[in-house]
Amino acid sequence: MFQARSLDIDDFADGCPVSADTLGKIYRAHVEILPSLIADIPPLTRARLAAFLYGRSHTRDLGLQVAATCDATTMRSMSGDLGATIHAQSRQTSARPTWGDETRNASKRISLAGSAMAGGHFA
């Protein structure tokens, strides 16, 4: 019989350049607190951490935030072209998503009121 086990921070820390405890604090930190949390992490380790976080879909944005505290040379020396790309992306502003934008959908209003009568049935 298969028995499920619960996951903890150690399951995600495999290969992480910082301790599981530090990783957990960084993961739970608010954007405003993050710079002070990672300020004491050496630059090379911070660059490795940025690449580690960026490489996981659920922590990609966090990786970009950490990369924003690194310089381009350090990022490139730790992760090559990927490090340079992460560093460049960390300096770009992203466009606001358009899905769910009321102004975009306002011109194409669709009424489903007639669909109840289409088959001769009333709701």
* Segment 6-61, tens digit of pLDDT: 545 555 557 889 998 999 999 998 888 999 999 999 999 999 999 999 999 889 99
Q: Determine, yes or no, domain membership for 121.
A: no
Whether 103 is covered by a domain: the verdict is no
Give the whole-angstrom CA distance, residue 33 versus residue 12: 22
Domain total of the chain = 1
| Any domain includes 86 | yes
- C-alpha–C-alpha distance, residues 75 and 79, integer Å: 6
> Structural domain of residue 81, as residue ranges?
9-93
Query: What distance in Å separates the CA atoms of residue 51 and residue 82, rounded to the nearest whole number?
Result: 8
pLDDT mean across residues, the chain:
79
Q: Is the pTM of this model over 0.75?
A: no
Q: Can you give the pLDDT at residue 119?
A: 58
The answer on pLDDT for 117 being more than 80 is no
Angle between helices 43-54 and 72-90 (to 10 degrees): 40
Q: For 102-117, what is the mean pLDDT?
A: 57
Q: Which of 56, 112, 55, 47 is nearest to 84 (CA)?
A: 47
Instruction: Give domain status of residue 1, yes or no.
Output: no
Is residue 116 situated within a structural domain?
no
Distance CA 71, CA 44 (A): 10
Asked, for residue 29, whether it belongs to a domain, the answer is yes
